[in-house]
Structure 1
Amino acid sequence: MIRCVVVDDEPMALEVLEDYIRMTPNLVLQHTFNNSLEALAYLQTHEADLLFLDINMPDLSGIQLLKSLRQPPMVVFTTAYSEYAVKSYEFDAVDYLLKPVEFDRFLKAVNKAIEQFNTRHKAGTQQTGAKDEDVTATKEYIFIKSGYQLIKLKLDSILYVEASKNYVTFVTTDKKVLALMPLSEVMQLLPPDDFFRIHKSYIVALRHIDAIERQHVNLNKQQLPIGKTYAVDFFKLLNQGI
């Protein structure tokens, strides 16, 4: 089954796609959103196979949302404006659907997605690796849910992340952001080439490390401990010159 997520700020368009997905074999509706920021927060921590994504939305457009995902799923853009069709192909979209979406046109897009889905699974992860790297390279920020807000954090501003019980604190160059989530979930949000977990309670930004002294990392006038469990892999990483 192909897991589908629908993001559209228009209630009628959202309802139509929900119905179409439920009517179609091989598709399962995983989640729907009428708010693009909430959708981004969900997709940063949950896997989906196919994303039906409206292009023109307030706060965060469909294009901006897609750029913010490290490993985006297959995407079918939806739009009420035909001039956005060209943009959809710039992002290797499976297809684009012009609103109001007819069921036969929806099925045509879904058939393309199923074909691509099957091809990806036969080829394994190697085929998707290059696309994921391209998106990762362009990712500059993440959104973190803190209380009732989604706060935008630039990746290059994050110094380290500290865990305390069920909460984590993102320490950046200019602020601290508290969020309710495990440190393991934070690791899924951050590029592995730029961040490393050095302790059960700490993730550090490699670019901001000033020095390493015995079993501590010196970073922004702070000393953070290197846990025994993580020390071997951390020093192996440093020896590779990363």
Structure 2
Amino acid sequence: MTLSAIAIDDEPRALEVIQMHTAKVPFVKLSATFTDAFEAIPYLQEHKTDLFFLDIKMPDISGIEFLDCLRDVPMVIFSTAYSEYAVKGFDLNAVDYLLKPYSLARFTQACNKALEAKQLRHNSGQDNIQATEPFVFVKTGYEKEKIWLRELRYIEAEGNYVNYVLPDRRLLSRQSLSDALLLLPDRQFVRIHRSFVVAVAHVHKINRNGVWIDGREISVGASYEGELDAIRMLLKF
């Protein structure tokens, strides 16, 4: 299965990076690039497109405003150099969010999520659905379970395992906390302790010692105090 993609970014260098990365991802075909979002509209009227790589902050129109102009919205991977936009991801049906500058490995992870989403829709007979909520698949024992990112509160390390904590259950997976963090969108999930990664959107209280999620206090590690400042900036605490 192949994904037909376009990229929209007002910075030519950013488009060059996407071109270089997609050249190394065999299942993504980058069909066109645009520095002006409005120039992409006639192209989309003539060509079926599975996936957008879309900058959020552009001079004439934001990526979010551009999507509002479209009738049928393909899957979207947002990219931005501004971390404050990452939290908005929970309110938008995007596959993933890349914080510039991003690595080839992080870019490939985002593409894999888009491919899984297309395969899921195809297998369920819903290939005509244009957008999907962001999610990850997590291995639990011999199975894989789907986790909607809007539901994930935090991840807690337990020895050689991690617990993905959701409102109604905990999913235990054999992996490191660092590996778990690689599956998640930049800045939407932040490591604040050697044993905890938290969902920024679900933080409802912060003090100098840690954060609160669903009434539970999660302490910040001494070497992660800078991440706590980043959360304050994102949530404007």
Normalised to the residue count of structure 2, the TM-score between the two structures is 0.52
Report the Cα offset of residue 126 of structure 1.
7.5
Q: How far does the alpha carbon of each residue in 1:105-134 deviate from its partner, in whole angstroms, 9 at most, with x for none?
A: 1011111111001011112237728x69xx
- One-letter code aligned to 2:85: Y
Is the CA contact 2:79–2:99 (under 8 Å) kept in the aligned structure 1?
Answer: yes
- Distance (whole Å) between structure 2 residues aligned to residue 77 and residue 36 of structure 1: 14
Match of 1:64 in 2: 65
- One-letter code aligned to 2:81: A
Map 1:150-169 to 2 at 5 A: none
Map 1:2-41 to 2 at 5 A: 2-41=3-42
The alignment's C-alpha RMSD in Å is 1.9
Instruction: Check 1:90–1:12 CA distance in 2 against 1; reply closer, same or farther (3 A cut).
Output: same
Is the CA contact 1:94–1:112 (under 8 Å) kept in the aligned structure 2?
Answer: yes
Report the Cα offset of residue 40 of structure 1.
2.7
Runs of 4+ residues over 6 Å off in structure 1: none
Is the CA contact 1:44–1:69 (under 8 Å) kept in the aligned structure 2?
Answer: no
Is the CA contact 1:7–1:14 (under 8 Å) kept in the aligned structure 2?
Answer: yes
Match of 1:73 in 2: 74
Normalised to the residue count of structure 1, the TM-score between the two structures is 0.51
Percent identity between the aligned chains? 49
Q: How far does the alpha carbon of each residue in 1:11-30 deviate from its partner, in whole angstroms, 9 at most, with x for none?
A: 11110001111111111111
- Distance (whole Å) between structure 1 residues aligned to residue 103 and residue 96 of structure 2: 14
Flag the structure with larger Rg: 1
Q: Mind listing any 5+ residue stretches in structure 1 that lack a counterpart?
A: 133-242
Q: Mind listing any 5+ residue stretches in structure 2 that lack a counterpart?
A: 133-237
Match of 2:56 in 1: 55
- One-letter code aligned to 2:19: E
Matched pairs, number: 131
Is the CA contact 1:80–1:99 (under 8 Å) kept in the aligned structure 2?
Answer: yes
Is the CA contact 2:118–2:127 (under 8 Å) kept in the aligned structure 1?
Answer: no
- Distance (whole Å) between structure 2 residues aligned to residue 110 and residue 61 of structure 1: 22
Instruction: Check 1:44–1:89 CA distance in 2 against 1; reply closer, same or farther (3 A cut).
Output: farther
Match of 2:123 in 1: 122
Higher helix content, 1 or 2: 1
